[in-house]
Amino acid sequence: MRPGFPKINPRELPGRVKTGLRNFSRDIQQMRGTNVWIFIMYGLMFDMVNNLWRPFSMRFLERLGGSEFEIALLSALPGAVAAVVLMPGAIIFRKFTNKKRATAAFILISRASLLAIAFVPMLPSHLKPILFVIFVSIMNCPDALSQTSLQSFLGTVFNGNMRGQAIALRTKFGQAVIPVVTIAAGLAITFIPNTDEQRLFLYQIFFVAAFFLGLVEVMIFNRLKVPEAPVLRTASPEGTGETGRGLEKEPSLKPGSIVKDKRFRKFCLPAILFLFSWQAGWPLVNIVQVMVLEASEMWFAIFAMVTGLTAFFSGTFWQRLLRKRGNTVTFAVSAGLLAGNMFMFPFIPNVQTMAVIMIITGFSAVGINTALLNGALESTPDENRLMYLAFYNTAQNISLFIAPFFALFLFEMIGVNNAMFVVGGLRVAAAGFAWYKMR
């Protein structure tokens, strides 16, 4: 036995498992009622709402009659909508005295949009694909605003170390729920309907169910305890010692000052460049899964299950790496894995192999998502954090709009496999640049 790998007696395993479960239960009890616990519960509902339909959205679009262009458009248009509304929306958000209530309202509007999507299969055939894309894109408007505001909350609710741990725990527990939801939905779509019409009707049920889960999501979010924002102090009347309340005091933000912030720019530029290369691969993978491998809804559920379980079990690894090595190393390692993963997809012969490769995707996606969110919060100042995050998310969504069309251009010019090699090369270059720039 090599040093560092202690010998384990198989007879001790049941006791160790029991001790681990007891410690896990104790940690859960200690977290109950805290902001970390509420954040995790909110995250679970968020994941349930989205994974009841999003893993099957490409397959649903194909069943509605969608083409390769509409598949790319579904990846791109939501980003364009978010890019247009985020900065103006953040300016409007600053005027709300109760930002948590405003965020909850936008979450509710986003979930109400699912009811509109539920009616798409009832529309004329030639309108179904494009209207589905449009409705999903419109839904991304309140969704982007609420998530940007939530990110700003995280910078206030949790300090540096606790923030990284809270994000990692929320991701870890969320990834445990995703496989359950997606497999249940995939089994239902595969075995309950007998015709395509019945299958589309079942999709409608999923959208309606997601709406009601969204109501629970909003209720849990409202329990999040957000510390009072800094207030504009006023002279106390008649010497009572009381001060004015409810007026948020934020320093004015001059145009261009966000871009000139060296600390923010040091993170934002390499992060967006890598995000572009990462996002460019999404429609290519979707085209392979839907058009080449002809994956059914059940296989999309299996893909989600594999990535979800892998993400759940790898959460502890990324949590420790973030704590011990910092955000830059976490970003570089996960980005490198995602870059290497892209070179594997052209050689996948069937859906079974695709499911195995998705293990790497699930493992590395947790790391990059944790590093991106934690890095954004670390690089933004306490003052005007919402505006900084709105700028960052706007850049993200501009990239999300352009990247799928870039991928579609590569697909039409050189084919899907060669396009994947090009995107893989871009990911390697972007990961290297991120490592160089963020150190």
d(CA 168, CA 330): 12
276 found inside a domain = yes
28 found inside a domain = no
Would you state the pLDDT for residue 391?
A: 87
249 found inside a domain = no
232 found inside a domain = no
Structure tokens at 208: 């309606």
251 found inside a domain = no
- What's the number of CA atoms in the CB half-sphere (13 Å) around residue 185? 34
Higher pLDDT, 371 or 233: 371
110 found inside a domain = yes
CATH number for the domain harbouring residue 359: 1.20.1250.20
Q: How far is C-alpha 24 from the geometric centre of its chain's CA atoms?
A: 26
- Does the pLDDT of residue 4 top 80, yes or no? no
d(CA 402, CA 423): 14
Q: Which amino acid is at 30?
A: Q
Mean pLDDT score across all residues of the chain: 82
Confidence of residue 369 (pLDDT cuts 50, 70, 90): confident
Contacting residues for 275 by C-beta, under 8 A, at least 6 apart: 372, 396, 399, 400, 403
Confidence of residue 33 (pLDDT cuts 50, 70, 90): low
246 found inside a domain = no
d(CA 148, CA 188): 34
Range of the domain at 95: 33-227+256-438
Residue 222: Cβ within 10 Å count: 14
**Which uninterrupted H or E stretch holds 1?**
none
Count of structural domains within the chain = 1
% the chain with pLDDT above 70: 84
If 0-12 CB within 10 Å is exposed, 13-18 middle and 19+ buried, where does residue 237 land? exposed
Structure tokens at 373: 């969110």
Would you state the pLDDT for residue 240?
A: 42
Q: CA distances (Å), 75 to each of 64, 82, 351, 390, in order? A: 16, 12, 22, 20
If 0-12 CB within 10 Å is exposed, 13-18 middle and 19+ buried, where does residue 269 land? middle
4 found inside a domain = no
Q: Which residue has the tokens 């706007």?
A: 394
What would the pLDDT profile of 276-322 be if each residue is shown by its tens digit? 999 999 889 988 888 888 888 888 888 888 887 887 788 778 888 88
The model carries a pTM of 0.71
The closest of 116, 307, 101, 90 to 210, measured between CA atoms, is 116
